[in-house]
Amino acid sequence: MAHEGQRIPAVTFKMRERTDEIGQPNPYVWVDKTTADLFQNKRVAVFSLPGAFTPTCTTKQLPEFEEVYYAQLISCAIDAVYCISVNDAFVMKQWADKLKVEKIQMIPDGNGLFTKGMNMLVKKENLGFGARSWRYSMVVDNMIIQKMWVEPGKMDNAEDDPYTITKPNYMFEWCKQQYETNGGMNLYR
């Protein structure tokens, strides 16, 4: 399992970006974004979850980060908040549109490469999901995991999907304490 002080895995995410240059009803193009593109020289709050449109992720985790804690995290020297899921770019976009997500950047890990590199890929075949992410959250400062929260009981085909220590209030309280302790300065920059 990934741990604090470790560098995040170097992968390429297959993403879709809007462009008005192609003049089509679906004006999106494929764009490759590397881990460095998204994380280098930034302090980022990340939460990873089992799947778009699933109950806890849709009714609790993503809305809590978007509606309640995004601004609070940004106020503690966080540059961006990312939601990562082992879903493709199309699913992540539709999920964000459905929930009216405007602040959090959705990161599709369709092939599970980042999640596997974090050693957080688990089988969810008992639910018909295939391989998915175990629920975790972390603060990454310039590609280094500064703090990480992992739900207990990580295992393949788990009967439940815990959502306890990865709630955004835990991340915010830690970020706030770090921010106040360091006089508003980031630790790794």
Q: In this predicted model, what pLDDT tens digit does every residue of 61-105 receive, in sequence order? A: 999 999 999 999 999 999 999 999 999 999 999 999 999 999 999
- Mean pLDDT to the nearest integer, 20-27: 70
pLDDT level of residue 164 (50, 70, 90 thresholds)? very high
User: What are the residue numbers of the active site?
Assistant: 57
β-partners of residue 83 are 47, 106
What per-residue string of b and e applies to 63-80 under the rule 16 or more CB within 10 Å gives b?
A: ebbbeebbebbeebbbeb
For position 183, what pLDDT does the model report?
A: 73
Q: In this predicted model, what pLDDT tens digit does every residue of 34-50 receive, in sequence order? A: 999 999 999 999 999 99
Burial (0-12, 13-18, 19+ Cβ within 10 Å), 131: middle
β-partners of residue 133 are 121
Q: Which domains does the chain have, with CATH numbers?
A: 12-181 (3.40.30.10)
Mean pLDDT, rounded, of the chain: 92
